[in-house]
């Protein structure tokens, strides 16, 4: 009996030892693509989702009418074979390809109309993409026409945003979805979209476990070229170091959020890293409407503060030089940015302007999210701003906050300086004007004005924006350049860093690229 | 004893109702934007979106109405829907709790085995090199921050030496076993998949060791001091006088007496780790309840906060009850009334 027990013990030890020494299932030859990412999914419903992870998930599962070419500038056909735009950019007619949804049913004009109406009426986060849409009409089963209430040359760009991906209307309606005017109350399909998908894309949702794993399966009925991988798994790995380790061991094929510093620590010859510019940026925002700041944070003072910042030093300090300066709240490379002159530090001029404004002993408070976004640690970034302001005699108290508290205090105008970030939803400068423009009723006017909009509204910008939207090509470009200059002159939004993006993947993976609309186009990735 | 246990079990739902009420009120009083998890930052100024979201989630209703609805749903077993995951909180917890329990149970086995062994060695060889070494091993485990020891051990054993696999409960390329208990080790055995079982054990090994090592220190110290104290008691002297060898006195006489304080510590450590293993979960990408709790708290996800609070409370209440029962088992002289 004793002998038997010993044998059993030895067997158990061997079993445990074998388990511990078991090798991970490695990437080579696998038909599954594994991506490491800290997921920020707020929904998998195209009409409600709004996050970086959502961008590439929706791109893989729901196809848009048009999409962005690898040059990140040119719009190319996707579900729409071609399109017509009238002379004043108010009517857009799309001719659909013979595409089909994953259940085999054809993609028709009625699906497109239903999708756009739902996006507008459900009033989810991306509903702004349908602002101004007044009519959607099916000319025939494969032709759809949209009319907007004012000239909008950026409408085509908007429909390349992944949130406008076309949904199989019949399937979604069967799951409780609604596109009616009262969809914000009548639509009950959000939970269905967490477990199912109804798109025409190369992949379908297989399973989703919040903050753990997102699993996509190849759409075997895909109407286009079949993707290389049978399955794509996005696995939750919170930090850059963990993602890099998983990449080195072959546990994952791609790591999406590795910063440049961490990338340099990777020693494995089987890992490839490429640093590319991104369209993301971090910025500080001034809030003249904050308590007691109306007569203090004037345009001259704001411009003086902007002159105090050491923009080159900021890049070194925050991202070790792996980034770019950005002049206006328009990403480098977007329409209108080519002619903008970067801001430069000028301490003497800043001091003079402050003195002239009678604010030589200015004291400020900066409330900002205590976070690390796109590899930029906001604490480090704000410490640099604090240091730069000190050089012109401005004392700034730093107040790092949780997101929930930051948002609460931001609306109340608790502090005159804040810091945030922005990433594009599609290629186009209009989205930035619609957010950062000092135009009556626009988001940053409400933030910066805190009920006293006249402190910040710039009347020039509304007409310039209308001109930009009513034109295309060089005329539109020129209007956006002027808008950029006006926003720089406003000195409300001061971009600090446009951090580079590290594309990190195993060497046997190809087709990894950064897309301004879609983040990471999964269908283009293959194993060598 | 049975009547005592039944009384304690009956009291649990009422205690939980109180805990849930306090948790709800505290959440509402906490400073912060309740829409943080519902409306992205860029949409904060969009009044249409904000109004639609408030109406959808009942945040446009007065606090007493929301409280009444919350309690009404709670007594029916409905913990609400998470703002962040958009799924029922009960479903989120049911998915995440087994992952944490599997990790914590294994960590407790590691921690208790290691702590007990080191405590015994330390007491038996008091003042010797063995004592110093044992105490140092325990002290290092307790002193090293988990985020550091976890990262270093992961780098060493996974990246450099390839002895253990990386993060997560299973390799991402592998489908998990059919869900029966939520414990991958058990479910893979139920499915008859030995390979999956071994892989799940392999993935558990390092996080369980890191978490277990962190609780080893307190167990070692407690066992050591209890044993040293016990070895000086009359019953130990009597046993020695009867000719019992020193190791018999230690194991058969002093150790059972050391179990009573140890049970208290083990019970509460277990309950604490249910929601307190967050750093280990973060480093090893372990989709457990701890990381869910932290995310819920930071984003003011009221329903999820309430759900996690209830789970944590149940864990402590049950740990307390089981500890009391353990007392009676460990020492028949103790009778609970």
**What tens-digit pLDDT sequence spans chain A (528 residues)?**
344 344 444 444 444 444 444 444 455 567 999 999 999 899 999 999 999 999 999 999 999 999 999 999 999 999 999 999 999 999 999 999 999 999 999 999 999 999 999 999 999 999 999 999 999 999 999 999 999 999 999 999 999 999 999 999 999 999 999 999 999 999 999 999 999 999 999 999 999 999 899 999 999 999 999 999 999 999 999 889 999 999 999 999 999 999 888 998 998 999 999 999 999 999 999 999 999 998 999 999 999 999 999 999 999 999 999 999 999 999 999 999 998 999 999 999 999 999 999 998 899 999 999 988 888 999 999 999 999 999 999 999 999 999 889 998 998 899 999 999 999 999 999 999 999 999 999 999 999 999 999 999 999 999 999 999 999 999 999 999 999 999 999 999 999 999 999 999 999 999 999 999 999 999 999 998
Nearest to B49 among A127, A210, A252 (CB): A127
Which residues, numbered 4 to 63 in chain B, qualify as contacts with chain A under a Cβ-Cβ cut-off of 8 Å?
Answer: 31-46, 48-49, 51-53, 55-56
The pLDDT value recorded for residue B47 is: 86
Q: Which residue of A has its CA nearest to B84?
A: A42
The pLDDT value recorded for residue A28 is: 55
| B201 in A contact zone (CB under 8 Å) | yes
Q: How far is CA A107 from CA A66, A98, B217, in A?
A: 14, 7, 63
Region for B300 from its dihedrals, namely left if φ exceeds 0, alpha if ψ lies in -120 to 50, beta otherwise: left
Q: Beta strands of B100-225 (E only): which ranges? A: none
The pLDDT value recorded for residue B332 is: 66
Alpha-carbon gap, residue A443 to A457, rounded angstroms: 11
Other beta carbons within 10 angstroms of residue B333's beta carbon come to: 6
The pLDDT value recorded for residue A20 is: 47
Q: How far is CA B250 from CA B76, B229, B231, B262, in A?
A: 52, 11, 7, 16
Residue matched to tokens 């626009």: A442
Band (B333; pLDDT cuts 50, 70, 90): low
| B322 in A contact zone (CB under 8 Å) | no
| A15 in B contact zone (CB under 8 Å) | yes
The pLDDT value recorded for residue A280 is: 95
DSSP state of A207: E
Query: In this complex, do B295 and A211 lie within 8 Å of one another by their Cβ atoms?
Result: yes
Rounded to an integer, the average pLDDT of B141-156 is: 88
Residues A273, A277, A283, CA angle at the centre, nearest 5°? 125
Nearest to B287 among A209, A251, A411 (CB): A209
Percent of chain B with pLDDT over 90: 42
Other beta carbons within 10 angstroms of residue A423's beta carbon come to: 17
The pLDDT value recorded for residue A180 is: 96
The pLDDT value recorded for residue A26 is: 52
Q: How far is CA B81 from CA A67, A193, B59, B169, B296, in A?
A: 35, 15, 13, 25, 12
Query: Which CATH number is B92-144+209-330 given?
Result: 1.10.3720.10
Pick the CATH number of A281-499 from 2.40.33.20, 3.40.50.11900, 3.10.105.10, 3.40.50.720: 3.10.105.10
Which chain B residues are within 8 Å of A251, Cβ to Cβ? 165-168, 171-172
Written as one string, the DSSP assignment of A459-518 is HHHHHHHHHHHT--HHHHHHHHHHHHHHHHHHTSEEEEEEE-EEEEEETTEE----BTTT
The pLDDT value recorded for residue A515 is: 93
The pLDDT value recorded for residue A21 is: 47
Alpha-carbon gap, residue B310 to B288, rounded angstroms: 15
Q: Which residue of A has its CA nearest to B289?
A: A211
Alpha-carbon gap, residue A125 to A180, rounded angstroms: 17
More confident residue, A218 or B135: A218
The domain segmentation of chain A, as residue ranges, is 32-257+503-527, 281-499
Q: Which of A17, A20, A191, A215 to mutate to test the interface with B (most CBs of B within 10 A)?
A: A20
Q: Which residues contact B162 (CB under 8 A, 6 or more apart)?
A: A23, A249
Query: In this complex, do A20 and B282 lie within 8 Å of one another by their Cβ atoms?
Result: no
Q: Which of B146, B285, B298 to mutate to test the interface with A (most CBs of A within 10 A)?
A: B285
Q: Are the beta carbons of B282 and A238 closer than 8 angstroms?
A: yes
Q: Which residues contact B250 (CB under 8 A, 6 or more apart)?
A: B120, B123, B124, B227, B231
Q: Are the beta carbons of A392 and A355 closer than 8 angstroms?
A: no
Q: Which of B37, B172, B304 to mutate to test the interface with A (most CBs of A within 10 A)?
A: B172
Three-state secondary structure call for residue B275: helix
For residue B29, pLDDT beyond 90: no
Band (B130; pLDDT cuts 50, 70, 90): very high
The pLDDT value recorded for residue B166 is: 83
The pLDDT value recorded for residue A14 is: 43
Q: Are the beta carbons of A41 and A53 closer than 8 angstroms?
A: yes
The pLDDT value recorded for residue B334 is: 63
B156-159 — which CB contacts under 8 Å span 24+ positions? B157/B206, B158/A245, B158/A249, B158/B206, B159/A245, B159/A248, B159/A249
pTM: 0.87
Radius of gyration of chain B (CA): 24
Alpha-carbon gap, residue A31 to A233, rounded angstroms: 11
Query: In this complex, do A407 and B44 lie within 8 Å of one another by their Cβ atoms?
Result: yes
Half-sphere exposure of A267 (CA within 13 A, CB side): 3
More confident residue, B75 or A193: A193
Q: How many residues does this entry show for chain A?
A: 528
Rounded to an integer, the average pLDDT of B250-277 is: 85
Which chain A residues are within 8 Å of B148, Cβ to Cβ? none
Residues A156, A158, A163, CA angle at the centre, nearest 5°? 130
The pLDDT value recorded for residue B321 is: 86
Q: How far is CA A456 from CA A362, A432, A448, A466, A483, in A?
A: 20, 17, 7, 19, 15
Which chain B residues are within 8 Å of A122, Cβ to Cβ? 52
Q: Distance, in angstroms, between A234 CA and closest chain B CA?
A: 8
Tens of pLDDT, residue by residue over B310-326, are 988 888 888 888 888 87
What are residue B296's DSSP bridge partners? Answer: none
Per the prediction, chain B carries an average pLDDT of 89
Q: Per the structure block, which two tokens stand in for B25?
A: 């009120």
Other beta carbons within 10 angstroms of residue A31's beta carbon come to: 11
Band (B261; pLDDT cuts 50, 70, 90): confident
B38-43 — which CB contacts under 8 Å span 24+ positions? B38/A42, B38/B83, B39/A125, B40/A42, B40/A50, B40/A51, B40/A125, B41/A403, B41/A407, B41/A420, B42/A50, B42/A125, B42/A422, B42/A435, B42/A443, B43/A50, B43/A125, B43/A128
Superfamily covering domain A32-257+503-527: Periplasmic binding protein-like II (3.40.190.10)
Alpha-carbon gap, residue B248 to B70, rounded angstroms: 57
The domain segmentation of chain B, as residue ranges, is 2-75, 92-144+209-330
Alpha-carbon gap, residue A396 to A383, rounded angstroms: 9
Q: Which of B87, B161, B171 to mutate to test the interface with A (most CBs of A within 10 A)?
A: B171
């Amino acid at each position: 009996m004793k002998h038997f027990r010993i044998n059993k013990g030895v067997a158990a030890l061997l079993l445990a030892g074998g388990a511990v020494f078991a090798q991970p299932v490695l990437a080579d030859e696998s038909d599954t693509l594994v991506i490491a990412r800290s997921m920020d999914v707020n929904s998998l419903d195209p009409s409600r989702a709004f996050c970086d992870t959502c961008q590439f998930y929706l791109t893989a599962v729901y196809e848009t009418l048009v999409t962005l070419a690898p040059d990140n500038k040119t719009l190319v056909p996707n579900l729409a074979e071609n399109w017509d735009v009238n002379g004043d950019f108010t009517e857009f007619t799309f001719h659909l390809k013979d595409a089909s949804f994953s259940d085999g049913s054809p993609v028709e004009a009625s699906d497109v109309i239903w999708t756009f109406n739902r996006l507008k009426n459900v009033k989810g986060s991306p509903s702004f993409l349908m602002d101004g849409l007044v009519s959607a009409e099916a000319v025939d089963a494969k032709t759809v026409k949209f009319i907007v209430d004012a000239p909008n040359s950026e409408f085509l760009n908007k429909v390349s945003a992944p949130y406008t991906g076309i949904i199989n209307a019949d399937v979604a309606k069967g799951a409780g979805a609604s596109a009616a005017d009262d969809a914000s109350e009548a639509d009950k399909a959000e939970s269905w979209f967490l477990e199912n998908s109804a798109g025409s894309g190369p992949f379908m949702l297989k399973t989703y476990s919040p903050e753990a794993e997102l699993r996509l399966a190849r759409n075997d009925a895909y109407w286009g070229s079949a993707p290389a991988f049978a399955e794509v798994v996005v696995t939750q790995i919170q930090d850059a170091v963990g993602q890099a380790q998983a990449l080195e061991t072959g546990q994952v094929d791609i790591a999406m959020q590795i910063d440049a510093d961490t990338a340099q620590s990777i020693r494995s010859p089987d890992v490839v890293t490429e640093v590319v510019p991104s369209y993301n940026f971090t910025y500080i925002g001034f809030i003249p409407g904050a308590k007691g700041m109306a007569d203090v944070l004037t345009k001259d003072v704001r411009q003086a503060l902007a002159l105090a910042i050491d923009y080159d030093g900021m890049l070194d300090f925050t991202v070790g030089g792996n980034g770019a300066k950005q002049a206006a709240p328009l990403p480098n490379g977007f329409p209108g940015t080519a002619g903008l002159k970067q801001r430069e530090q000028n301490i003497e001029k800043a001091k003079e302007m402050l003195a002239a404004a009678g604010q030589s002993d200015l004291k400020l408070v900066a409330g900002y999210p205590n976070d690390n976004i796109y590899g930029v640690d906001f604490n480090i970034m704000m410490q640099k701003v604090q240091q730069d302001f000190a050089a012109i005699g401005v004392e700034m108290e730093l107040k790092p906050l949780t997101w929930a508290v930051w948002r609460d205090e931001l609306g109340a105008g608790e502090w005159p300086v804040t810091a945030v970030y922005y990433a594009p939803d599609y290629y186009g400068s209009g989205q930035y004007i619609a957010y950062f423009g000092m135009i009556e009723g626009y988001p940053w006017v409400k933030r910066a004005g805190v009920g006293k909009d006249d402190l910040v509204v710039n009347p020039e910008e509304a007409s310039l924006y209308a001109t930009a939207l009513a034109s295309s090509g060089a005329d539109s470009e020129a209007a956006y350049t002027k808008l950029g200059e006006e926003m720089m002159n406003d000195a409300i939004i001061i971009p600090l860093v446009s951090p580079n993006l590290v594309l990190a993947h195993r060497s046997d993976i190809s087709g990894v690229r950064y897309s301004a609309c879609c983040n990471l186009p999964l269908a283009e990735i293959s194993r060598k | 004893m049975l009547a005592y246990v039944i009384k304690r079990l009956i009291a649990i739902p009422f205690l939980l109702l109180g805990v849930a009420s306090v948790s709800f009120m505290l959440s509402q009083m906490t400073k912060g934007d309740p829409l943080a998890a519902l409306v992205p930052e860029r949409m904060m100024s969009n009044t249409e979106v904000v109004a639609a979201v408030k109406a959808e989630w009942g945040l446009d209703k007065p606090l007493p109405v929301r409280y009444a609805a919350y309690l009404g749903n709670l007594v029916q077993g409905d913990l609400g829907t998470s703002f962040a995951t958009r799924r029922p909180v009960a479903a989120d917890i049911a998915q995440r709790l087994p992952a944490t329990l599997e990790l914590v149970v294994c960590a407790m086995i590691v921690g208790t085995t290691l702590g007990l062994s080191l405590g015994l060695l330390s007491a038996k060889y008091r003042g010797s090199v063995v004592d110093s070494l044992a105490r140092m091993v325990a002290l290092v485990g307790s002193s090293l921050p988990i985020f550091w020891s976890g990262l270093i051990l992961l780098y060493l054993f996974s990246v450099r030496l390839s002895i253990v696999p990386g993060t997560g409960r299973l390799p991402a390329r592998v489908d998990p076993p059919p869900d029966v208990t939520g414990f991958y080790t058990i479910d893979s055995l139920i499915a008859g998949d030995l390979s999956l079982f071994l892989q799940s054990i392999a993935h558990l090994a390092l996080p369980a060791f890191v978490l277990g090592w962190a609780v080893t220190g307190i167990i070692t110290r407690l066992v050591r001091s209890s044993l040293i104290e016990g070895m000086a008691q009359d019953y130990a002297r009597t046993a020695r006088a009867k000719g019992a060898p020193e190791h018999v006195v230690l194991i058969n006489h002093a150790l059972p007496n050391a179990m009573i304080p140890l049970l208290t510590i083990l019970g509460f450590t277990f309950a604490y780790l249910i929601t307190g293993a967050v750093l280990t979960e973060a480093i090893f990408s372990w989709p457990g309840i701890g990381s869910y709790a932290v995310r819920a708290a930071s984003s003011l996800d009221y329903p999820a906060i309430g759900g996690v609070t209830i789970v944590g409370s149940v864990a402590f209440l049950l740990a307390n009850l089981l500890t009391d029962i353990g007392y009676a088992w460990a020492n028949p002289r103790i009778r609970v009334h």
